[in-house]
Amino acid sequence: MNKLIVANWKMNPSSESEAIQLAKASDEKGVVVCPPFPFLGAVKNALRKADLGAQDVFWQNPIPGGAFTGEVSISMLKKIGASYVILGHSERRNYLGETDEIINQKVKSALAFGLKVILCVGESLSTRREGLSQAESFVKNQITKDLKGIPSSVISSKSLVIAYEPIWAIGTGKADKPEDSASMAAYIKDFLKPKTSNLKPNVLYGGSVTSLNAARIFEHQEIDGALVGGASLKTEEFKKIIKIASK
């Protein structure tokens, strides 16, 4: 599969046995399954072809551990078999107060200690209403802050994936127009491209992706895949999305 499909289960499902079933149904090469922390081990055991990702990580990585109540370290995630972590999701930015500074620390540590990062960015509805170029400036500013201090060789490597997720499209059933997200993806790749090479980071689209709109999203070359929330919890629906992405 040329595209990368990330299943962001958020705070679902409600039991380990459901998580295992869901993992088995999602187990394809090119898929990254991101369950909640308590199911990481069981899901890893159920996967043969897909990669495992976490939905968050702490920015300090003391080994063997440290006095950080409630936090999970990069080393712990790697030991359990995770190779990716989602950072900067708008649900964490908006409801849990994650700032660009916090996200920047997490991105830096995760990349330094060997986890691949799926960095989520995206504008609000009011910004988007001001126009696509306002949205681009907002996203550029977010990415610049979140990637501060990270060498361009790391940014253009396959260790970093940007997920463009306009906030107003997440969980609303109102996906962005594919041509608009494709132009945003091209814009992101262009400003992140190092001056000395042609390598560009992969950019995914996220926000109400379903089997009905996936083909129109994936036909744009600039879009390297999708971050799928709600539809990744429905086995038949998610299988259809994977199939479309494999064409």
Reduce the DSSP state of residue 225 to 3 states and report it. Answer: strand
Please indicate whether residue 89 is annotated as part of the active site. Answer: yes
Residues in CB range of 188: below 8 A, 6 or more apart: 139, 140, 143, 162, 164, 201, 203
Q: Which stretch binds ligand PGA (CB under 6 A): 67-75, 92-100, 137-145, 226-234?
A: 226-234
Please indicate whether residue 165 is annotated as part of the active site. Answer: yes
Q: Mask: binding to ligand PGA, 141-180, rule CB under 6 A, as x and -?
A: ------------------------x----xx---------
Minimum distance, C-beta of residue 221 to ligand PGA, in the bound complex (Å): 22
Q: How far apart are CA 195 and CA 175, in angstroms?
A: 33
63 or 125: CB nearest ligand PGA: 125
Amino acid at 78: K
In the range 1-20, which residues lie near ligand PGA by CB under 6 A?
A: 8
Q: Mask: binding to ligand PGA, 191-210, rule CB under 6 A, as x and -?
A: ---------------xxxx-
Contact 44, 81 (CB under 8 A): yes
Residue 205: phi and psi, rounded to 5, are -110, 140
Helix or strand run (H / E) with residue 228:
strand 225-228
73 or 181: CB nearest ligand PGA: 181
Contact 227, 163 (CB under 8 A): yes
Minimum distance, C-beta of residue 241 to ligand PGA, in the bound complex (Å): 10
Rule CB under 6 A: choose which of 32, 135, 228, 245 binds ligand PGA: 228
Contact 64, 77 (CB under 8 A): no
User: Which chain residues interact with ligand PGA by CB under 6 A?
Assistant: 8, 165, 170-171, 206-209, 227-231
Known catalytic residues?
A: 89, 165
